């Protein structure tokens, strides 16, 4: 992953700690991929009908993490209001999806790994939001 | 656009008014495309250096509208907390981008049209959020 | 939809017919939303287990149409090779998804509408590709 | 990154080598983030007007890599035709963007790192495509 390397190359000032931004970015893109993969794994399960809500949460969480990672990858023309609001949405999506996947963690290994990534991403976004204020 | 036709085909119950959801969806996908196009038009302007913040706002707003449209296109396993938080992020992104594009509306026709779409999308998301509560 | 209005505001030259680009863009964003909605409607069906392949096609087609719409919304620094290759991928995705949804069109109204949008989008991309050469 | 861990949890058969899929996925999400960050860094450069084509390539490449990563993250209801066509589009996008960023690699460190990631991603997609046939 070149996230840490890329952020060092940003040529202007960034008001936030670059390591903290990189931590959040890595958690976001990891969570997004885990959610896309978990939705797909759920879809292949015999009891897919019991995993409808889990698939839905995964799809939303992947889309929201992707958008949040895009926003956090940009520093030019920074608007704290957008960053803050999108982080809050992402924290909520990760919380909901982590809880939902957590319910199937003992049954499905993909849900266990995905729940763990959602929780890590939620914490990384919370840390970022706290550092902004 | 088949948005209104598609939403009529959803086979289960939806707690919100389907016309209202379609209004928001149409505003979101319209705004997203306008923002992507406006960022690109700004990039082609001779004075691109003066449009940095506008390009940034456009890119964020496009990504956030896209994620919000995805969330609002799904009704299975509905989680009001995710929908609400993502709508709030989208309202903020549309407000910021509408204001920024609005500053260049007299100079650049693409900014004028884009500002108008951001404001319409902001209102559609606000209406949706209000209807949820 | 402001797609036709936005494309008129692009301040530099575009080598292709602007109406043709707008046609493709409208078909793409329409198809993408229909696919996201169809995946979600399939997920809510009692016999979701029979619709696994349809959901998968829908998810792929939505992602690919979105990326293609982004590429076709940009004219600055145009690279025909990228546009052409992405259009070809989109034609394939629309063909596969249209065929798959078409198999369930008599059973599920959402699949019928979605199949129709996939085919329209496929044709719009084919027309675009032909006009490029 | 949980990509390697997630792919091990997929509960059904996958016809391709899981390590190879994980290699491609890691290269894709890395390249996408590098491209988004490089577009933003270019936008902040004093001579942004000279980097218009680079920004455009970065934006396209990010969108195309994201769509490709989504497709490669899914194994249920696999359609080789879609995967193949999207990989070909991604190879082209990475080639074009790697070449463009490569032109500014001595001047801008972000372009140097991004060019390297585009080339790595191009190779990973080529390896994947070869393994499919």
Q: HEC profile for chain D?
A: CCHHHHHHCCCCCCCCCHHHHHHHHHHHHHHHHHHHHHHHHHHHCCCHHHHHHHHHHHHHHHHHHHHHHHHHCCCCCCCHHHHHHHHHHHHHHHHHHHHHHHCCCCCCHHHHHHHHHHHHHHHHHHHHHHHHC
Chain segment C44-78, per-residue pLDDT in tens: 999 999 999 999 999 999 999 999 999 999 999 99
Look at residue C33 and tell me whether its pLDDT is greater than 90: yes
Residue D133: predicted pLDDT: 85
Rounded to the nearest integer, the mean pLDDT of chain A is 97
Across the interface, do D77 and C89 touch by the CB < 8 Å criterion?
no
pLDDT in tens, A15-27: 999 999 999 999 9
Which residues does C13 contact at the CB level (< 8 Å), separation at least 6? none
What residues have CB less than 8 Å from A68, skipping those under 6 apart? A28, A86, A87, A89, A90, A125
Cα–Cα distance, A123 to A115 (Å, whole number): 12
CA C51 to chain A, closest CA, distance in angstroms equals 9
Q: How many CB atoms lie within 10 A of CB C116?
A: 18
Tokens coding B83: 């929908």
Say whether A3 and D33 touch across the interface (CB within 8 A): yes
* Tokens found for residue B59: 């890119």
Q: Are B64 and B87 in contact (CB under 8 A)?
A: no
pLDDT tens, residue order, chain B (133 aa):
899 999 999 999 999 999 999 999 999 999 999 999 999 999 999 999 999 999 999 999 999 999 999 999 999 999 999 999 999 999 999 999 999 999 999 999 999 999 999 999 999 999 999 999 8
List the structure tokens of B99. 């204001």
pTM recorded for the entire structure: 0.98
Which of D36, D38, D42, D49 would you mutate first to test chain B, the one with the most B CBs within 10 A? Answer: D49
Predicted local confidence at residue D130, as pLDDT: 97
Q: What share of chain C is helix, strand, coil (3-state, %, to 5)?
A: 80, 0, 20
Q: Which residue of C has its CA nearest to B10?
A: C41
pLDDT value of position D132: 95
* Chain C residues within 8 Å of chain B (Cβ atoms): 1-3, 5-7, 9-12, 25-26, 29-30, 33-34, 36-38, 40-41, 43-45, 66, 69-70, 73-77, 108-110, 112-114, 116-117
| Cα–Cα dist B16/B4, whole Å | 14
Contact C40 B6 (CB under 8 A): no
Residue C81 in tokens = 């090779």
Q: What residues contact residue A47 under an 8 Å CB cut-off, 6+ apart?
A: none
- In this structure, are residues B118 and B35 in contact, taking their beta carbons and an 8 Å threshold? yes
What are the tokens at D93?
């996008």
- Predicted confidence band of residue A34 (pLDDT cuts 50, 70, 90): very high
The 10 Å Cβ neighbour count of residue A81 is 12
Residue with tokens 């969108």: D63
Give the count of beta carbons closer than 10 Å to the beta carbon of residue B130. Answer: 9
Interface test with C, best of A49, A58, A100 (most C CBs within 10 A): A49
Q: What is the pLDDT of residue B68?
A: 98
CB-CB contact of A42 with A54 (8 Å):
yes
The pLDDT score that the predictor gives to residue C47 is: 96
The shortest C-alpha distance from D14 to chain C (Å) reads: 15
Distance from CA of D103 to the nearest CA of B (A): 19
- Beta-carbon contacts of B60 under 8 Å, excluding residues fewer than 6 positions away, are A70, A71, A74, A79, A82, A86, B93, B96, B97
Which among A10, A25, A66 is the nearest to D110, CB-wise? A10
So what's the pLDDT on residue C14? 97
| Integer Cα distance of B125 and B61 in angstroms | 13
Q: How far is CA C58 from CA A40, A123, C36, C42, in A?
A: 12, 32, 6, 10
Contact (Cβ atoms closer than 8 angstroms) between residue A123 and residue A66? no
Taking CA–CA distances from B42, the nearest residue in chain D reads: D52
d(CA B119, CA C16): 30
**Whole-angstrom distance, CA of residue D29 vs CA of residue A33:** 9
Condensed to tens digits (0 to 9), the pLDDT of residues A62-76 reads 999 999 999 999 999
Q: How far apart are CA B121 and CA B132, in angstroms?
A: 17
pLDDT tens per residue across span A96-110:
999 999 999 999 999
Looking at residues D87-96, what average pLDDT do you find?
98
CB contact under 8 A, B110 and C7: no
- In the predicted structure, residue C106 carries a pLDDT above the cut 90: yes
In this predicted model, what pLDDT tens digit does every residue of D52-65 receive, in sequence order? 999 999 999 999 99
Mean pLDDT (whole number) for C1-26: 96
Give residues with Cβ within 8 angstroms of A50, minimum separation 6. Answer: none
Crossing angle of the two packed helices B18-44 and C18-44, in degrees rounded to 10: 140
D21 band by pLDDT with thresholds 50, 70 and 90: very high
Distance, CA of D62 to CA of A29 (rounded, Å): 13
Residue A52 to residue C55, Cβ atoms within 8 A: no
Q: What is the Cα–Cα distance from B100 to B91, expressed in whole angstroms?
A: 14
Which tokens hold the place of B48?
């691109």
- Cβ atoms < 10 Å from Cβ of A54: 27
CA C16 to chain D, closest CA, distance in angstroms equals 18
The predicted pLDDT at position C75 comes to 98
Chain B residues with CB under 8 Å of C50 CB are none
Do the beta carbons of residue D63 and residue C62 sit within 8 Å? no
Nearest CB among B40, B46, B55 relative to D43 is that of B55
Q: Which residues of chain A have a Cβ shorter than 8 Å from any chain B Cβ?
A: 52-57, 59-60, 63-64, 66-67, 70-71, 74, 76-79, 81-82, 84-86, 88-89, 91-93, 95-96
B130 Cα to chain C: minimum distance (Å): 23
**Which whole number is the average pLDDT over C4-17?**
96
How far apart, in whole angstroms, are the C-alpha atoms of residue A119 and residue A99? 9
CB D44 within 8 A of CB A76: yes
């Amino acid at each position: 992953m070149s996230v840490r390397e890329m952020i060092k190359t940003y040529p202007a000032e960034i008001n936030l700690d670059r390591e903290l931004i990189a931590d959040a970015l890595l958690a976001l893109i990891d969570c997004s991929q885990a959610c896309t993969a978990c939705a797909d794994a759920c879809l292949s399960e015999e009891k897919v009908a019991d995993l409808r809500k889990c698939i839905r949460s995964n799809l939303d969480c992947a889309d929201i993490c992707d958008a949040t990672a895009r926003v956090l990858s940009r520093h030019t023309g920074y608007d704290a209001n957008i960053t803050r609001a999108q982080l809050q949405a992402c924290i909520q999506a990760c919380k909901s999806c982590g809880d939902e996947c957590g319910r199937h963690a003992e049954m499905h290994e993909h849900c266990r790994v995905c729940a763990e990534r959602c929780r890590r991403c939620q914490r990384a976004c919370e840390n970022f939001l706290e550092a902004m204020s």
